[in-house]
């Protein structure tokens, strides 16, 4: 498409002698400057969204290690410890499945993103949530959680209920109870921030303006370069004399591709949980947490870490 957009104006200008097609370069330059600003603004904001997502899940990793330590050392009953830890795995599972669910504004289905999906797999799209949760919850809890709307929230509510029962049974003291409840509050905070990123897309008005400006600039660029390259005929000799205008094609394609590519980079970092190759690796972070906490319980048979597929890890 970019090549065709470059060829057509040159052919009309050179062969059909439609010299009026040459647009003032000043106009194109001003539009290009405005486009560069809006593209740079978008890419900065979308990168910050991905960075925020990475920080949220790093905080989940840190808080989860604290949760595993407290569950092991505060509670003398190994059965209760294992239940709290495994239920935490269920919370991680429910949260990451929700993060990988589809939203209409996400761009993973666009051609420039979808073409890469054959090179990697998304764990949350390969098995259903019920199968995964069954690994960590008993039958009664699984049935209850599957009936709720926000499964991660209700799993964490069960954690709080269990802590209250342990405190009532005097299996933990008040300071331990407060510390663990504070950690649950932290988990809710991390979950809320993660959900906020998932459910609040980059503002559509900025995204649309960005797309329109880039497309309009790419369309207008070769028209603005016609007269500028035509003037170069006065400074050259030989075979290029009278043919300098043909250089509009490669240069307009290169510059247009650069603007289009920057726009696509912004799209690919706009939604950090959508299942694209540039996602925050929440599946791998969850597996790391699970292995760390299992080792705290003394388990030796650990699930394998996810392996990169064509240098892509989710």
Query: What is the pLDDT, as a whole number, of residue 112?
Result: 64
Place of tokens 């239940």: 83
User: Using CA atoms, how far apart are residues 255 and 277, in angstroms rounded to an integer?
Assistant: 25
- Residue among 137, 140, 180 at smallest CA distance from 160: 180
User: Using CA atoms, how far apart are residues 258 and 26, in angstroms rounded to an integer?
Assistant: 20
Residue 71 burial (C-beta neighbours within 10 Å; 0-12, 13-18, 19+): buried
Ordered per-residue pLDDT tens for the chain, 314 residues: 777 777 777 777 677 777 777 778 888 888 888 888 888 888 888 889 999 999 999 999 999 999 999 999 999 999 999 999 999 999 999 999 999 988 888 777 776 666 777 788 888 888 899 999 999 999 999 999 999 999 999 999 999 999 999 999 999 999 999 999 999 999 999 999 999 999 988 887 778 888 888 888 888 888 888 877 777 676 656 666 667 777 778 888 888 898 888 888 887 788 888 888 888 899 999 999 999 999 999 988 888 888 888 787 87
CA distances from 15 to 7, 68, 201 (A): 12, 75, 47
* Cβ atoms of 40 and 265 closer than 8 Å: no
User: Using CA atoms, how far apart are residues 265 and 132, in angstroms rounded to an integer?
Assistant: 33
Residue 293 burial (C-beta neighbours within 10 Å; 0-12, 13-18, 19+): buried
- CA angle, corner 103, sides to 64 and 58, nearest 5? 20
Query: What is the pLDDT, as a whole number, of residue 184?
Result: 96
* Cβ atoms of 227 and 29 closer than 8 Å: no
User: Using CA atoms, how far apart are residues 256 and 223, in angstroms rounded to an integer?
Assistant: 13
Which runs of consecutive H residues, i.e. helices, occur in 169-203? 174-199
* Cβ atoms of 26 and 157 closer than 8 Å: no
């Amino acid at each position: 498409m970019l090549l065709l957009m470059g060829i057509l104006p040159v052919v009309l200008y050179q062969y059909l002698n439609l010299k009026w097609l040459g647009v003032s370069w000043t106009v194109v330059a001003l539009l290009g400057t405005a486009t560069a600003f809006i593209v740079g603004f978008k890419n900065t904001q979308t990168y910050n969204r991905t960075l925020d997502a990475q920080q949220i899940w790093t905080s989940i990793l840190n808080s989860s290690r604290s949760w595993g330590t407290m569950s092991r050392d505060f509670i003398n009953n190994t059965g209760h410890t294992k239940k709290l830890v495994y239920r935490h795995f269920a919370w991680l599972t429910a949260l990451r499945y929700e993060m990988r669910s589809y939203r209409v504004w996400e761009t993973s289905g666009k051609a420039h993103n979808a073409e890469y999906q054959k090179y990697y797999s998304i764990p949350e799209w390969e098995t259903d949530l019920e199968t995964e949760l069954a690994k960590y919850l008993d039958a009664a809890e699984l049935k209850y959680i599957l009936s709720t709307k926000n499964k991660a929230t209700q799993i964490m509510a069960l954690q709080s209920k269990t802590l209250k029962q342990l405190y009532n049974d005097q299996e933990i003291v008040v300071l331990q109870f407060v510390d663990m409840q504070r950690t649950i509050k932290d988990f809710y905070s991390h979950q809320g921030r993660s959900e906020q990123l998932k459910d609040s897309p980059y503002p559509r008005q900025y995204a649309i303006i960005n797309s329109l400006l880039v497309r309009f600039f790419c369309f207008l660029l070769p028209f603005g370069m016609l007269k500028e390259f035509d003037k170069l005929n006065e400074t050259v000799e030989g075979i290029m004399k009278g043919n300098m205008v043909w250089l509009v094609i490669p240069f307009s394609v290169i510059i247009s591709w650069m603007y289009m590519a920057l726009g696509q980079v912004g799209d690919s970092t706009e939604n950090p949980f959508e299942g694209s190759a540039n996602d925050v690796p929440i599946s791998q972070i969850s597996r790391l947490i699970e292995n760390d906490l299992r080792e705290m319980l003394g388990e030796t048979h650990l699930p394998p870490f996810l392996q990169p597929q064509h240098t892509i890890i989710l």
